[in-house]
């Protein structure tokens, strides 16, 4: 991709709104990436940018000499400045034939990029039923057909009915080669007594890779592992220089990967935001039932089951989550909400059921709206919807006697609890 389209690179001098500038430029159909000002020169040379925008640099002299030596066209903008027509004109003039940049062009370039990079070799792609992995699988299948084999790892951390949906769409509709691996016991054993969120994510990420490598060996040989890594995943996982954006959490598609791998990574949507991935899915003619699904984290329910993970707790969480989503759909609000989820908390609460005192689990409902997952605001749900959801969960889900409502924005909270 980077050999085909030359981006504008926003150099982030540690100010909080650099991502918003990237969004604004992409809305103008200018291919834009962001890097910390302390980025390595070799990385910049690898990206081959068409120009630089120094965001938050008070003076041109702040541009690091090693970067200035590249001789790239540059434009400086203070953090408190609104983007001007001159800025947009600069970006468009630098990018030349790369403008307009949209999902139709991205799909065309990526299909060719995948074909050139993969050649006659084989790709293994992990499917979860989520938007990201589904779009990646469809894109690669369009590019190389039967050279792609998809693997669904039933980790025990999937949503209710997830595995069946994946089989229906990819085996039934798209006739994709699909292998289903039942690995619930293996994942739960590895996660036993693990409560620290970062450790959970790294265990899940490492075990995913192990499973994929094992399946690759069974298939004879696989050269690439395809993943649905997104741009916010990459940005949040940066360990940037002081003053720039710092890592919030590792992602199983990024920081959770083990250092030694037997397959090269293929991440065709790693430069895209979630809304752009949805748009790409529509270009690829994926059904709305997949493209319109709410985001689901790579580690699955493992990061929504706060505290210790057990099969019983996961079953409780899965059932409560399904009820919440069902009630949102019944209210006609599903497509108006970016993401809705239930978290099972690591506390218990006194309750009364059938006239008897109980000591049971507590879960929380969370619904948010966002554009790119970098920031989020709570979706304020109607009281009747909340009331019915709470009533159903407390009645239909064994072991839950109290339901809370999380209306925290991002920041300071992240979208997921872990």
Point out which residues pair with 406 in neighbouring strands: 366
Give the pLDDT of residue 17.
79
Give the pLDDT of residue 25.
94
3-state SS, the chain, equals CCCCCCCEEEEECCCCCHHHHHHHHHHCCCCEEEEECCCCHHHHHHHCCCEEEEECCCCHHHCCHHHHCCCCCEEEECCCCCCCHHHHHHHHHHHHHHCCCCHHHHHHHHHHHHHHHHCCCCEEEEECCCHHHHHHHHHHHHHHHHHEEEEEEECCCCCCCHHHHHHHHHHHHCCCCEEEEECHHHHHHHCCCCCCHHHHHHHHHHHHHHHHHHHHHHCCCCCEEECCCCHHHHHHCCCCCCCCCCCCCCCCCCCCCCCCCCCEEECCCCCCCHHHHHHHHHHCCCCHHHHCCCCCCCCHHHHCECCCCCHHHHHHHHHHHHHHHHHHHHCCCHHHCCEEEEEEEEEEEEEEECCEEEEEEEEEEEEEECCCCCCEEECCCCHHHHHHHHHHHHHHCCCEEEEEEECCCECCCCCCCC
Give the pLDDT of residue 59.
57
16 or 196, which is more confident: 196
Give the pLDDT of residue 399.
97
Q: What is the mean pLDDT of residues 113-132?
A: 92
Give the pLDDT of residue 62.
67
The yes-or-no verdict on residue 239 having pLDDT over 50 is no
Question: Which tens digits make up the pLDDT trace of 41-51?
Answer: 888 888 889 99
Distance between CA atoms of residues 31 and 397, nearest Å: 47
Give the pLDDT of residue 168.
87
Structure tokens at 110: 């990526």
Point out which residues pair with 351 in neighbouring strands: 358
Give the pLDDT of residue 260.
56
Torsion of CA 67, 38, 264, 260, to 10 degrees: 140
Give the pLDDT of residue 2.
43
Under 8 Å between Cβ of 29 and 99: yes
Give the pLDDT of residue 158.
95
Give the pLDDT of residue 334.
97
User: What's the pLDDT band for 308 if we cut at 50, 70, 90?
Assistant: very high
Give the pLDDT of residue 1.
44
Q: Determine if the pTM surpasses 0.85.
A: no
User: What's the pLDDT band for 243 if we cut at 50, 70, 90?
Assistant: very low
Total residue length of the chain: 418
User: Is omega for the bond preceding 412 within 30 degrees of 0, making it cis?
Assistant: yes
Structure tokens at 258: 């083990």
- What percentage of the chain carries pLDDT values higher than 90? 60
Nearest-CA neighbor of 4 among 116, 90, 98?
A: 98
Question: Which tens digits make up the pLDDT trace of 311-370?
Answer: 999 999 999 999 999 999 999 999 999 999 999 999 999 999 999 999 999 999 999 999
405 or 213, which is more confident: 405
The yes-or-no verdict on residue 215 having pLDDT over 90 is no
Q: What is the mean pLDDT of residues 139-160?
A: 94
Q: Which of 81-95, 128-142, 298-312 has the highest mean pLDDT?
A: 298-312
How far is CA 251 from its chain centroid? 8
Distance between CA atoms of residues 199 and 218, nearest Å: 29
Answer left, alpha or beta for residue 14, where phi above 0 means left and psi between -120 and 50 means alpha.
left
Question: Which tens digits make up the pLDDT trace of 170-188?
Answer: 888 788 999 999 999 999 9
Q: What is the mean pLDDT of residues 245-249?
A: 49
The yes-or-no verdict on residue 163 having pLDDT over 50 is yes
Nearest-CA neighbor of 317 among 295, 342, 298, 340?
A: 342
> What domains appear along the chain, each with residue ranges and CATH number?
8-98 (3.40.50.880), 103-291 (3.40.50.620), 304-406 (3.30.300.10)
Give the pLDDT of residue 240.
40
Structure tokens at 135: 């779009």
The yes-or-no verdict on residue 247 having pLDDT over 60 is no
Question: Which tens digits make up the pLDDT trace of 55-79?
Answer: 987 655 567 788 888 899 999 888 8
Q: What is the mean pLDDT of residues 166-170?
A: 87
Distance between CA atoms of residues 362 and 358, nearest Å: 12
Give the pLDDT of residue 43.
84
Distance between CA atoms of residues 401 and 391, nearest Å: 10
Torsion of CA 287, 289, 292, 298, to 10 degrees: -110
Answer left, alpha or beta for residue 221, where phi above 0 means left and psi between -120 and 50 means alpha.
beta
Dihedral over Cα of 126, 127, 128, 134: its sign = positive
The yes-or-no verdict on residue 120 having pLDDT over 90 is yes
The yes-or-no verdict on residue 309 having pLDDT over 80 is yes
The yes-or-no verdict on residue 262 having pLDDT over 90 is no
Distance between CA atoms of residues 86 and 233, nearest Å: 31
Q: What is the mean pLDDT of residues 70-98?
A: 87
The 51-55 sheet, strands edge to edge: 32-36, 8-12, 51-55, 74-77
Give the pLDDT of residue 236.
65
Question: Which tens digits make up the pLDDT trace of 274-306?
Answer: 889 999 999 998 888 888 889 888 899 999 999
Q: Which residue has the tokens 């084989």?
A: 122
Average pLDDT, the chain: 88
Distance between CA atoms of residues 111 and 37, nearest Å: 31
Instruction: Please report how many Cα atoms fall inside a 13 Å half-sphere around the Cα of residue 16, on the Cβ side.
Output: 4
Q: What is the mean pLDDT of residues 76-87?
A: 88
């Amino acid at each position: 991709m980077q050999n085909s389209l030359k981006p504008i690179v926003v150099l982030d001098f540690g100010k909080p709104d650099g991502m918003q500038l990237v969004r604004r430029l992409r809305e103008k159909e200018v291919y834009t990436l962001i890097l910390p000002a302390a980025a390595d020169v070799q990385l910049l040379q690898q990206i081959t940018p068409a120009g630089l925008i120094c965001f938050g640099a008070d003076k041109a002299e702040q541009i690091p000499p090693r970067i200035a030596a590249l001789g790239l066209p540059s434009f400086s903008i203070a953090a408190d400045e609104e983007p001007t027509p001159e800025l947009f004109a600069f970006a468009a003039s630098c990018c030349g034939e790369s403008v307009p940049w949209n999902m139709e062009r991205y799909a065309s370039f990526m299909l060719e990029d995948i074909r050139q990079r993969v050649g006659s070799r084989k790709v293994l792609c992990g499917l979860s039923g989520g938007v990201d992995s589904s779009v990646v699988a469809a894109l690669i299948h369009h590019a190389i057909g039967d050279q792609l084999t998809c693997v669904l790892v039933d980790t025990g951390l999937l949503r209710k009915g997830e595995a069946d949906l994946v089989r229906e769409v990819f085996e039934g509709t798209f006739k994709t080669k699909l292998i289903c691996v039942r690995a619930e016991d293996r994942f739960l054993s590895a996660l036993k007594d693990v409560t620290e969120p970062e450790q959970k994510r790294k265990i899940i990420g490492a075990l995913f890779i192990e499973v994929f490598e094992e399946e690759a060996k069974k298939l004879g040989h696989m050269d690439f592992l395809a993943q649905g890594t997104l741009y916010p995943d990459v940005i949040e996982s940066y360990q940037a220089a002081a003053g720039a954006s710092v890592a919030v959490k590792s992602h199983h598609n990024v920081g959770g990967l083990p250092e030694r791998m037997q397959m090269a990574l293929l991440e065709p949507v790693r430069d895209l935001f979630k809304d752009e991935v949805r748009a790409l899915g529509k270009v690829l003619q994926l059904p709305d039932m997949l493209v319109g699904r709410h985001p689901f984290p790579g580690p699955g329910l493992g990061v929504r089951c706060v505290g210790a993970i057990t099969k019983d707790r996961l079953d409780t969480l899965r059932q409560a989550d399904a009820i919440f989503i069902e009630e949102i759909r019944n209210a006609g609000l599903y497509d108006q909400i970016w993401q809705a989820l239930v978290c099972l908390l690591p506390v218990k609460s006194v309750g009364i059921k059938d006239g008897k005192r109980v000591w049971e689990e507590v879960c929380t409902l969370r619904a948010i709206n966002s554009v790119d997952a970098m920031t989020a605001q709570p979706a304020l749900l109607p009281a009747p919807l909340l009331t019915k959801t709470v009533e159903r969960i407390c009645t239909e889900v064994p072991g839950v006697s109290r339901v809370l409502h999380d209306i925290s924005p991002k920041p300071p909270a992240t979208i997921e609890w872990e």
